[in-house]
């Protein structure tokens, strides 16, 4: 992709960097209240989580460890419905209050599988915080504990979210097309 094509594809900003930072304060408070000083393990699902997870971590004041997983479930702009764990966590989750920090819930398939896998490892507790949710796209029944922003059925990039691995470094969330 050349530079012109890259820039022209960004149609409009739908959530600004300032709006994200404001909501992160509430998300941090939600986690702090939930755990009341108890240590947590923040789990991010790569690659999309890397910006969000870093910001969530900086907005919580409970003691916090970080771990990553990776899963493949998406090609281009269409979900395949298949989920493959390509990188796993090598810790005993039964010792942890686990909080999954996800970038976006679309059909819900990725998170449903990951939630089930982590639940089977008997964490002390398990919660899910997501930056974005597209409730109208849901194909499986899955309840998230905390959502920063609900968005309509539109493909977005930025703040960790990609299109063919580009745009993850944008500080805002934008529609492309
Ligand atoms: P799900 O399994 O359909 O819920 O898909 C979740 C994954 O699809 C996310 O972790 C993203 O990597 C990707 N995804 C879904 N919607 C978007 C989008 O609008 N922009 C970028 N990635 C997306
Ligand atoms: Mg992705």
As a whole number, mean pLDDT of residues 1-15 equals 90
| 3 state SS of 109 | helix
Ligand 1 lined by 173 (C-beta under 6 Å): no
Tell me which of 142 and 129 has the higher pLDDT: 129
pLDDT of residue 76: 47
CA 61 and chain centroid, separation: 20
| Rounded Cα gap, residues 166 and 74, in angstroms | 14
Query: Which amino acid residue places its CA nearest to atom 12 of ligand 1?
Result: 48
As a whole number, mean pLDDT of residues 5-30 equals 95
Query: Which amino acid residue places its CA nearest to atom 19 of ligand 1?
Result: 155
Residue to mutate, 12, 104, 176, ligand 1, most ligand atoms under 8 Å from C-beta: 104
Ligand 1 lined by 109 (C-beta under 6 Å): yes
pTM of the full predicted structure?
0.92
pLDDT of residue 74: 55
| Rounded Cα gap, residues 137 and 79, in angstroms | 11
Q: What percent of the chain has pLDDT over 70?
A: 94
Mean pLDDT, the chain, whole residue set = 92
Which atom of ligand 1 sits closest to the CA of residue 79?
3
pLDDT of residue 2: 87
Distance 110 CA to ligand 1 centre (A): 8
Residue to mutate, 52, 106, 128, 149, ligand 1, most ligand atoms under 8 Å from C-beta: 106
pLDDT digits (tens, 9 = 90+) for 74-133: 544 454 456 788 999 999 999 999 999 999 999 898 899 899 999 999 999 999 999 999
Half-sphere exposure of 169 (CA within 13 A, CB side): 2
Least trusted range by pLDDT, from 5-14, 16-25, 57-66:
5-14
């Amino acid at each position: 992709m050349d530079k012109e094509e890259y820039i022209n594809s960004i149609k409009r900003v739908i959530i600004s960097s300032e709006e994200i930072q404001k909501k992160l304060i509430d998300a941090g408070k939600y986690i702090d209240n939930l755990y009341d000083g108890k240590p947590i393990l923040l789990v991010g699902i790569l690659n999309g989580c890397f910006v969000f997870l870093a910001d969530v971590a900086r907005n919580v004041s409970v003691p916090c460890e970080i771990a990553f997983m990776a899963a493949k479930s998406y090609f281009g702009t269409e979900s395949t419905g298949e989920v493959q764990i390509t990188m796993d966590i090598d810790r005993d989750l039964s010792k942890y209050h686990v909080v999954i920090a996800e970038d976006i819930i679309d059909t819900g398939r990725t998170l449903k599988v990951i939630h089930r896998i982590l639940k089977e490892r008997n964490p002390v507790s398990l919660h899910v915080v997501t930056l974005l949710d597209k409730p109208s796209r849901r194909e499986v029944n899955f309840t998230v504990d905390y959502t920063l922003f609900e968005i309509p059925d539109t493909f977005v990039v930025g703040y960790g979210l990609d299109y063919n691995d580009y745009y993850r470094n944008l500080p805002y969330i934008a529609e492309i097309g």
